[in-house]
Amino acid sequence: MKNKILNRLKRTFCGFAAILFCFSLFSFTPKDLVKKDTVVNSFKLKTVIIDAGHGVKPTNPPPGHYSPGASGSFSNERNVTLAIALKLQKAIEKDVAGTKAVLTRSTEEDVSFEKRAEIANQNKGNLFISIHCNSLSDRVIRERVGTKRGKAVYRSVRVPDRSGKGVLMLVYGLHRSREEQNAIKNNQVEEESGLEGNVLDPNDPVVAILTDAYMRKFRKQSIKIANLINDEIVGTDNRRSEGLREQGLYVLCHSAMPSVLVETGYINNPDEEEYLNSEEGQAEIVNSIVRAINKYKTQMEQTTAN
């Protein structure tokens, strides 16, 4: 059964390639013979996965799989991200037509990186948005503590660095592309080939072609949604941005869909912490993300004329 389906895929691909070749040889478009056709993109933004970063340490977490997240003077990242995620879920289902929002966690308890990616893939998400708060590490400075034999004596002291300010967008780093390939093979390619639950042949050219196509598409779309969110936060909310960066984050490269991690602000900066914990600040962040999703949805679902 598996071979029959893969053979069918191969024939389809080869037939499509042959048609493209023929059109490249015989290109003619007499205006009186050609009607202007409209091709409708079949893509629909049906499911957005919302990932609230970190959480309260579970009873028996797997070794090395728990991170408490950042903290400020009166709040923790895990609480802020959950509050924003819950608001974002409601806003998406209210203001993004035909789209549902699925949370990777809806309680204070942490969820492992593996489970977050699993939730995203099992729910067949079209878009993955991970919510986090940023923080700067302490600075190490040298301070003078006295003199000894006429020479100054210094010691190294760690002091909090509260200078961080603004948002940051992260997409998965290319150095973890192998993991992204595996996630795509186990989800999109299996589903498209009709071989869900069976083992795909990694050496099959059809599998390799489909996987590469999805990787390039998801990469492009991840950057698109990251820039749209960034533009909304900067242009509408007048907040500072550190732009877009690559980072080898597990949840991004294991979620087989366009994905972005939004660092919503620096929780160890007193002004930013107040903003991140305020109803006004959280509402602005949510509204900016929803506006970006609606623009993304329109662009991805739009009708194109030939």
Q: 174 falls in which pLDDT band (50, 70, 90)? A: low
Name the more confident of 23 and 290: 290
Residues 6+ apart with CB under 8 A from 225: 127, 129, 258, 260, 292, 293, 296
* Residue, of 23 and 125, whose pLDDT is higher: 125
In the numeric block, the tokens 């961080």 are attached to 164
In a domain, 118, yes or no: yes
Average pLDDT estimate for 232-240: 97
User: Over 70: is that where the pLDDT of 48 sits?
Assistant: yes
| Structure token pair of residue 159 | 């002091």
143 assigned to some structural domain? no
Q: How confident is the model at residue 74 (pLDDT cuts 50, 70, 90)?
A: very high
Which of 35-39, 48-52, 207-211, 214-218 shows the lowest mean pLDDT across its residues?
A: 35-39
> Quick check: 273 and 6 in contact, CB under 8 A?
no
Q: pLDDT tens across 121-145, in order?
A: 999 999 999 999 999 987 787 877 7
Residues 281, 193: Cα–Cα separation, whole Å: 45
CA of 121: how far to CAs of 49, 199, 213, in Å?
9, 17, 18
- pLDDT at residue 23 in the model: 38
Q: Is there a domain that residue 100 lies in? A: yes
Instruction: Give the integer Cα–Cα distance in Å for 205 and 75.
Output: 51
Number of residues written out for the chain:
306
Domain that residue 221 falls in: 46-134+165-181+215-301
Tell me if 174 is assigned to some domain: yes
In a domain, 26, yes or no: no
Note the pLDDT tens digit of each residue in 148-168. 888 887 788 788 889 999 999
**pLDDT greater than 60 at residue 86:** yes
Number of structural domains, the chain?
1
- List the structure tokens of 282: 């959280």
- Identify whether 265 is part of a domain: yes
Position 19 scores a pLDDT of 40
Query: What's the whole-number mean pLDDT along residues 229-237?
Result: 98
- 306, part of any domain: no
Residue 279 sits in a domain of what CATH number? Answer: 3.40.630.40
Provide, rounded to the nearest whole percent, the portion of the chain with pLDDT above 90: 52
Quick one: average pLDDT of 52-60? 86
Q: Is residue 201 part of a domain?
A: no
Q: Which CB contacts under 8 angstroms, 24+ apart, belong to 191-194? A: 191/124, 193/5, 193/6, 193/9, 194/5
Residue identified by tokens 């040298």 is 142
Residue 189, pLDDT > 50, answer no
Q: How many helices, marked H, and strands, marked E, lie in the chain?
A: 9, 10
